[in-house]
Structures are given as structure tokens and as C-alpha cells.
Chains A and B, each alone.
Chain A
């Protein structure tokens, strides 16, 4: 399975600011996914990031709030913009190692907005 390095592992941010989360994979993958996990809840898909095209956002998530970059097949960033306390969550990236059906997760970024 792929090894994912996700940074930062945690951060405390002031409301109104932004946080950019990085996800680096040790192999080339076609699809990368970004999830949000609110405290005690399940994982909710934010968007799918494909290299060379715009990210595809799920209902309830918009590009202005969650801009995503995917410059190559091993790297992606998620920015959470104009932070409010409601954005306090764990954010996780995930990849499917092409052809394996195995979806691996990064270690997550715990964001607290104050």
C-alpha cells in the first residue's frame, strides 16, 4: 500500500485566517481524496483531486472555501479558507493505489479554530 505523509499534524488557527494542508504520497496515484471528520463523526468526502483537472467537490463543499491543488501525481494540498470555529475538525487525505482497491489514509490534520 502507499505511504502518505500529511502535514501539519495539528494546528490552532485564528478565525478568518486560512490553513493549507499538504499530502505527499510515495508513489504515483491517479486519484486523491480529501475527507473531513468532525469530532465523533464519520468521514465525509470533501472533494476528489485529479492531476491536471479541477477538483470535483461534493455537495455542501465549494472551491472558494476549500481550494485544492494537485500539481502532480504524488502531491496535493487542501486549503481551508476564512476559518470559523465550525471548521474545527480532522482533515484526511486518501489515495487509491491504482488497481489495488486499497484506499490508504494519511495520518490526518487536527484543526482547531479559535
Chain B
């Protein structure tokens, strides 16, 4: 089953923060976050494994709440380069990723 992402779309001004949520009705073993710019392939951002860990990548970080079967991606002090569609993907061990429908993020000056 496909993870559920929210919101579907968000518009930010440069410097503003955003949170993108990803939830699953199936048990999450790991959550993978990707960003895709128009006309390009998805680019890996980070992975979170069971254990409720939080990771960071520059001003982008994420958390994974195993009990709630939920992950959140935090974008702080957004930059124009953050624009794109963000996908969360879940899998259960060594299986292919199943992706959510995506969240379209637009950062404007």
C-alpha cells in the first residue's frame, strides 16, 4: 500500500520553514526521502530506519516515529533550490520502494 503524504502542495517564501508528512498503514521498516525536480530523476535525500532516529542534511532533516508509522521531513530556512516534488518511499527490508504521491514544494523569492 502506498504511503500517504501531506500536504499535496505548499508554497513558501525564501527563508520560511515547511514540514512534509508521510504515514503508512503498513509497518514501516525504513523511510526514504527523495526530491525530484521537473524533468529530472529523483535524488536521494536520506533514509531513516526503525528506531525513531532523526537525521539531517544541511537544513533538511527528518524524523521517523515507528509507533505512529510516520515520518516527517523538515525544511528550514528554505532556499529557491529546495523547489521540487518530495517523495517518501517505504520498504520492508530488502524490497523495492513504494512511493507516496508526492508533495510539490515551490519556494518563491
Contacts and interface: CB of A to CB of B under 8 A. Distances in A.
Nearest to A43: B99
Nearest to B42: A105
A53 B40 CA distance: 31
Contacts of B41: 92, 105-108
A101 B96 CA distance: 10
Contacts of B102: 42
Contacts of B107: none
A1 B101 CA distance: 25
B47 A31 contact: no
Interface string B49-87: 100000000000000000000000000000000000001
B23 interface: no
B18 interface: no
Contact of A102 (B42, B47, B98, B100): B47
Contacts of B40: 107-108
A25 to B, nearest CB: 14
Given A101-B47, A103-B89, A33 B42 contact: no
Interface in A90-104: 92, 94, 96, 101-104
A93 B32 CA distance: 17
Interface of A: 1, 31, 33, 41-43, 45, 48, 92, 94, 96, 101-108
